Chain A
Amino acid sequence: MTPNLPGVTISITGIGSVSPYGPLAGLIPQSKLEPSVITAWKADGLRRAFLVKPFRPADVVPGLKTRRLDRLSAWALVASSLAIKDAGIDLSQVDRSRVAVIFATSYGCVELTAAFYQSAADNGWSGTDPSTFPETLANSPASHVALFHDLRGPNITVGSKGFAGESALLQAASLLRHGQADLAIVLAGDTLTRAVYEWYEVADLLSPACYNSEPLPEDGGFVPSEGVAALVLEPAGRRQVGAETRTYANVCAGRWAAGGQPAETIRQMLGGSVLSLTICTSNGAPCATNATTALAREIAGDGASIIPPQAVAAGLVDTGALLHLILALSTRPGSGQALLLGTSLGTSGDSGFATLLLELP
């Protein structure tokens, strides 16, 4: 994304999340979080992950009905409601045909997909459950968000290896810049199921911290996580002066590629901008020496303020960008220019990257 529509500043004005910290509107209060013991399925020994503690969505969002939905859809509904509330937006005063929903996910509704496979295993393909099938679709969470809030703008579900969250943010900013929506609800997240956890396990991707109660090590694998983070994006000045709005950050520019020369490309994007903060978003081990942090140092210099990937967000392998951003804003709000930066190693050895230049007011 180049800043090719001068005068259109895209602001992040609302935050909501359903994460291992619980369902929250706005920033996440600082607290140390350790992985929880998995009890949802029988495992051969201790298994840990960053899990969302069970809660009743209707206790958080009155009137919400989620009984037949995948948890991913339920969390998207809760997170979007919390973000809209945090933004102080009264949807009854908004042209809802101009509100977009952009949802990023890696695995989609895996819980009900597994249930559908189970019904096929139990009854054969001829005896599968018709009520489950539509809810297995990856776009179900975004469509439920549209249905619940009556949002009739573009409704988009995206995936991108390592960068689904960043991709959703960039595409939302694009819709707003091009006047295809006036307001965008951006969501990113995944649920952790047995099939996903065991895939990581058999692929030997997990941290030792998944198997014992020791604190998180500095490197070697990651601890899977789950949750949905939501942001409200809108053009700055959309609402009247005097309306109660808070701007968490402005989205100034972005770059995203599956390979090439990340440092050179990002420097080009930055122009003369001086970074006050770099927020690393990365799948894999959260540690000070990982590839994203190294790239951040290369761009911003040794003395720069860099927030390394946070374990709880890094466990959302493709969709952690929004939670990384929320956690960074929660711990170090600051001001000035900030870089949201993620990297991913492609299967062909190319190092992909995605980055957004943010202005923190």
Chain B
Amino acid sequence: MSDIQKTIVVTGVGVVSPYGIGLDCLQAGMLSGKCCLAPTKDLYPGFEGTTAQIHELPLLAEGSRSRYSRTDQLAVVAARDAVADFDCESVAFRESGVVMASTVAGLTEIDPGIAPDPAAWYRRGGLSRAASYPVAHVADAVGEHLGIRGPRCAVSVACASGAMAIALAANLLLDGIAPMILAGGSDALCPFTLSGFNSLQALDPSPCRPFDQNRKGLNLGEGSAVLVLETLAGATARNAKVLAVLRGWAMNNDAFHPTAPQEQGNGLAACIRSSMEMADVSLDEIGYVNAHGTGTPLNDIAEANAYETAFRGRSRPIPVSSTKSYFGHCLGAAGALEAAITIAAVRCGALFPTLRLTDPIESRGVDWLRGEVRRQPLPLAMSVSAGFGGSNTALIFGSVRS
């Protein structure tokens, strides 16, 4: 394979976030420093907390919307945004693949009434709602809505899902399984996950403070991001505009605990190092890390340790921030949304700070970004994701010139 057949590029980015639809909207919102987290009471009786909700979604095509869960809808809106400028009648587009991540998927459509008597619940109108339960439905919704017929696959690895979907799509492109792949993640807020994280006492009732010594937990959000990936050869052949280059990716597992990260962050550090080896870049070339940064006590310390280890030997501390401080943790969509933010950072040369970070974790090797947006040329940046079950993923994006 020649270099341009092995180089994976991003030719489309679609986003639906609490800021609205589109990467520009997300970027402008974050540059303004606006926080979308807000007090929430109505998601289930008795819940009081802080979330970031999307209040307006465009109606999807008549006849298909009823089959879509809220997670599906978010995914379809993001995917449509990603391909807004594409020739949707071209063969390459028709044969595209879809790799979508989700953890919630169709759980948004199901309520506890299903538990005592499932058949009665289905007969009361739940059958088509429950049909959207499998995570694969999210990829099908995107593929069917756009009329594309390449391979479709869903990924569900908890909070690393969105990033892993992008990594797997890149592998599939190298295999030549499709001319382009729409890859990303989508998750909607729902009582199931809110209740679950609440029961684990993982939620901060106030807006979260990732990497702060006084952090108390995470906030949940919702959204979706979809990247269009293809080889540089494919993009060049159809004269596509290249937004960024996916320079490296790596996936691994801590094999440490079902929910807790390994405190020293060794697994995550190994994953980061592997992605840099693949990208063939030095420690000093990475200009920014968009961290997983949930705001939970255990995650953030493990992550800080991972950066210390992975970037040891670097000439200056690595700039790191958590953009979950803007609109919460979007679970299966988080890795994809943060990949989109990392691409935005590279494209506009902006290092987004962590909001509300006043007293950072002590870490000599990390330059915690806080306060104002830092403006500087950013040829290479990394997005890091981790999740329950120990899965880690690191993605390295570069500017077109890189």
Contact = CB atoms under 8 A, between A and B. Distances in A.
Interface in B116-149: 116, 118-119, 122-123, 127, 130-131, 133-137, 139-140, 143-144, 148-149
A152 B114 contact: no
Given A126-B46, A174-B175, A147 B118 contact: no
B390 interface: yes
A347 B390 contact: no
B195 interface: yes
A178 B170 CA distance: 11
Nearest to B137: A161
B144 A346 contact: yes
- Which of A108, A124, A134, A177 counts the most chain B CB atoms within 10 A? A134
Contacts of A135: 258
Contacts of A175: 171
B112 interface: yes
Contacts of B154: 158-160
B91 to A, nearest CB: 10
A114 interface: yes
Given A130-B201, A161-B140, A174-B171, 17 more contacts: A108-B156, A114-B114, A120-B112, A138-B103, A143-B253, A153-B253, A155-B253, A156-B251, A158-B154, A160-B136, A160-B139, A160-B151, A170-B175, A171-B171, A254-B177, A258-B148, A346-B144
Interface stretch (A192-200, A298-306, A332-340): A192-200
Contact of A167 (B67, B151, B253): B151
Contact of A96 (B144, B175, B191, B255): B255
A159 B391 contact: no
Given A120-B191, A161-B140, A198-B119, A126 B258 contact: no
B168 A139 contact: no
A156 B152 contact: no
A58 interface: no
A130 B200 contact: yes
Interface residues of B, number: 79
A147 B119 CA distance: 36
A118 B112 contact: yes
B390 A106 contact: no
B86 interface: no
Contacts of B98: 258
Given A139-B391, A146-B390, A257-B150, A156 B155 contact: yes
B377 interface: no
A167 B136 CA distance: 11
A159 B389 CA distance: 17
B130 A152 contact: no
B136 A106 contact: yes
Contacts of B95: 257, 260
Interface in A252-291: 254-260
A208 interface: no
- Which of A97, A125, A171 counts the most chain B CB atoms within 10 A? A125
Interface string A148-164: 01111111111111001
A180 interface: yes
Interface in B145-182: 148-158, 164, 168, 171-172, 174-177
A193 to B, nearest CB: 9
A202 interface: yes
A157 B47 contact: no
B119 A202 contact: yes
Interface of A: 1-2, 4, 96-97, 101, 106-108, 113-114, 116-118, 120-121, 124-126, 128-130, 133-140, 142-144, 146-147, 149-161, 164, 167, 170-171, 174-175, 177-178, 180, 194-195, 198-199, 201-203, 254-260, 318, 346-348, 350, 352, 354
For the residues of A in contact with B, the DSSP-based class is mixed
27 contacts: A1-B176, A2-B177, A4-B1, A106-B134, A108-B135, A117-B110, A117-B115, A120-B192, A120-B195, A121-B112, A121-B116, A126-B198, A130-B199, A137-B158, A139-B391, A147-B257, A150-B255, A152-B267, A158-B168, A161-B134, A161-B137, A161-B140, A164-B136, A198-B122, A199-B122, A201-B119, A203-B131
B150 A258 contact: yes
A203 B250 CA distance: 41
Complex A-B, nearest 3 residue pairs according to Cβ-Cβ distance, in ascending order: A143-B389, A259-B149, A133-B196
Contacts of B175: 1-2, 4, 170, 174, 177
Nearest to A98: B252
Given A107-B134, A137-B156, A152 B254 contact: yes
Contact of B157 (A116, A155, A202): A155
B392 to A, nearest CB: 9
B227 interface: no
B58 interface: no
B176 A4 contact: yes
